[in-house]
Amino acid sequence: MSEALENLIRSIPDFPKKGILFRDITPALADPSAFGEICRILANRLNNKGIDKIAGIESRGFIFGSAVSYITGKGFIPLRKPGKLPWKTYMEKYSLEYGEAALEMHIDAVSSGERVAIIDDLLATGGTAAAAARLIEKAGGEVAELDFLIELEELNGRNNLEGHEIFSIMRF
């Protein structure tokens, strides 16, 4: 990963609330070269791993996941907030530091035995990613790996994803 790419991640103190250091990826998204590099790194990770589909977690996981899906020629699975998908879904709830949230996926998004890579922009506590993995497994799929642009190491999100291969382009 290039230093230039890391320099495009903006740190914003006290957002969305006091004491949080927010990692803003929008400068990297605005730079076509950086965006391309991120997507190529993620896509190259999946070469020769027998991946059948790419799942992206709403919302920024859609940005990278759909591009990686296109690059690799694999189908894309949107993992969405409740009530956003128009057909029958599986739902998986998870805890946040301030309450509960959930993700949904169409029940026919994954076939039994399919290997799925899950992509999101950020690994923090791991709760969202763990819920995404449970959704894939609930449908009979296998989580091949979880890939992130950024990992916030001090939050120990990997601990909530034991048993899964995890890759992060950048760690803070």
In a domain, 1, yes or no: no
The pair of structure tokens assigned to 63 is 């940005």
Q: Does residue 94 register a pLDDT over 70?
A: yes
pLDDT of residue 98: 73
Residue whose pair of structure tokens reads 């057909």 in the numeric block: 87
| Model pLDDT for residues 128-165, shown as the tens digit of each residue | 999 999 999 999 999 999 999 999 999 999 999 999 99
In a domain, 42, yes or no: no
In a domain, 3, yes or no: no
Give the structural domain span for 104. Answer: 49-171
pLDDT of residue 96: 79
Residue type for position 139: A
Q: Is residue 97 annotated as a catalytic residue, yes or no? A: yes
Does the pTM of the predicted model rise above 0.75? yes
Residue type for position 83: G
pLDDT of residue 99: 80
Number of domains in the chain: 1
Q: What is the mean pLDDT of residues 83-99?
A: 92
Q: Does residue 1 register a pLDDT over 80?
A: no
CATH code at position 136: 3.40.50.2020
Please provide the average confidence, as pLDDT, over all residues in the chain: 96
In a domain, 21, yes or no: no
pLDDT of residue 113: 97
Catalytic residue among 6, 23, 58, 60: 60
Q: What is the mean pLDDT of residues 48-60?
A: 97
Q: Does residue 101 register a pLDDT over 90?
A: yes
In a domain, 40, yes or no: no
In a domain, 146, yes or no: yes
Which position has the higher pLDDT, 95 or 79? 79
Q: Does residue 4 register a pLDDT over 90?
A: no
Closest CA to 42 of 20, 60, 67: 67
In a domain, 2, yes or no: no
**Cβ atoms 65, 94 nearer than 8 A:** no
- CB count within 10 Å of CB 107 equals 13
Q: Is residue 153 annotated as a catalytic residue, yes or no? A: no
